[in-house]
Structure formats: C-alpha cells, structure tokens
Amino acid sequence: MSYFITIALILSLIISCQKETIEQSTIELTVEGKQKVIVIEDYGVGIEFCLLNENDEPATTFQEGENFKFHLAIINHVEPDTTMYIVSDFIYNEALFKVLDRTGRTIGKPWEKSMCLEISDGVNQIYAGEKWIIESPWVETQVFEGPYESDNIKYLQCYFSGLNMKPLPIGKYYTELSQQFCLGKYLPQPKNEFVCTEFLTLRIYFEIK
C-alpha cells in the first residue's frame, strides 16, 4: 500500500509541475457551430467531451425541461496491444460537470462525491483501443446509500450522489473543465511511467430554448 501511496504522490508532483510550465490549450464548442463533440488525441490519450440530448445525441441546444446529459470519455491509443490504467485525478476536479451562466456565475452540478476508496489507480485498467465513459444527467436523483448497494453511481474509486437539480430555465450556459489527463503504464515495481495530454481547458457553450 505504501508503494501505491508513494506513486500517487510522485504523480501529483509531476502533474503539478507540468501544469505550471505547459501552455494551456483551450478547446470550445459554440451553440452555433456544427461540431457538437470535443475530440482530442494527445500523446495517444484520447478525450471526448460533449453534452447529450434525451436521444443520446450530441447537442448544444436543448428544449426547456429537457434532461440533458454530460459525457466524458477517455480512450487508450497509446500503443497497440498495451493495457494502461486511468489516472483518476480528474474525478476529483470540482469543475467536472459544473454549469455556469454566461456571466460566469455557478448554477450547480448534477451530483457530488459521497465516498472515494483509498485504492491504487492501478485497478483502473483500460485496454488498447478501449473507451472508458463517465456520464451524468443534469437532473440526477439517485443517492449513495453505502458501498455495498448494487445501484450506486460509481466511477473509478468514487461513489456519487445526485443533487436532484431542477431543469435549467431558458437561457445561455456553459460547462468548463481544465485538466491534464493521464494514463499509467504497468511496469515492474518500483518503476512507473505516465503518458499525459497537455493541460487542457474544455469548454462547451449551450442554450436552453
């Protein structure tokens, strides 16, 4: 266990240093644009980020009362036939799936973390070419009732509870996530190696009509 804790601390320091020195890249979707999904591949780490309508189609315009969904995917394109593991620091990012109005005022989030297990990221296996997906509807009512309940919302090491947000009123909004995404290689102890994207800001403007 101490080995995994040491690796987590080393990775945290590496990422912290990189965030101070790497030029930030901003990728955004507009309401008017034809593109509805942010798609990035950087050093073999693939990212998809979008909003889905009630038909599970990428969209930036929704009808009043519609329960749209957040969608974030990580894809392992690092090396053919190479299994990696997902580094989970993005799941602790407080901006994940947060909604703001066009003035920058925070409206809220669909859920909150209820519990995170103290286990190594090494259990977050992702095969070559595999896509790992995290999603949440804006109106999420399911709550965490203990780690052994079968219908919990769980992604990687963390359990989530819905905040039962009200449907957004007519207006213009955006969601934004600033993050560096990393995959780790399985190597003999005590070696470790990480493949990371640049420090990215992913921003989606959307409208409720």
pLDDT tens digit sequence for 135-172: 999 999 999 988 878 889 999 999 999 999 999 999 99
Alpha carbons 89 and 101: distance in angstroms, whole number: 26
pLDDT at site 147: 82
Strands (E), the chain: 25-29, 37-42, 45-52, 61-62, 69-76, 84-86, 99-101, 106-108, 111-116, 125-126, 131-137, 153-155, 158-162, 171-179, 182-185, 193-196, 200-208
The model's confidence at residue 18, banded by pLDDT at 50, 70 and 90, is very low
pLDDT at site 23: 52
CA–CA distances in Å: residue 104 to residues 98, 176, 179, 205, 206: 11, 10, 18, 12, 13
Q: State percent of the chain over pLDDT 90.
A: 82
* Residue 4 reports pLDDT greater than 80: no
* Closest C-alpha to 208, from 81, 93, 119, 107: 107
* Residue 81 reports pLDDT greater than 60: yes
Alpha carbons 91 and 149: distance in angstroms, whole number: 21
pLDDT at site 8: 43
Alpha carbons 73 and 132: distance in angstroms, whole number: 5
Burial class for 135, CB neighbours closer than 10 Å (0-12, 13-18, 19+): middle
| Token digits of residue 63 | 């009808």
190: left (phi over 0), alpha (psi -120 to 50) or beta: alpha
User: For 74-93, what is the HEC assignment?
Assistant: EEECCCCCCCEEECHHHHHC
* Residue 203 reports pLDDT greater than 50: yes
pLDDT at site 118: 92
Query: What's the mean per-residue pLDDT of the chain?
Result: 89
Annotated domain spans of the chain: 2-111+124-137+167-208
Residues in contact with 12: Cβ distance below 8 Å, sequence separation at least 6, in sequence order: 89
pLDDT per position as a tens digit, 83-99: 999 999 999 999 999 99
* Residue 20 reports pLDDT greater than 70: no
The model's confidence at residue 12, banded by pLDDT at 50, 70 and 90, is very low
CA torsion sign for 63, 69, 70, 75 is: negative
- The class level of CATH for 2-111+124-137+167-208 reads mainly beta
Whole-structure pTM value? 0.86
pLDDT at site 200: 97
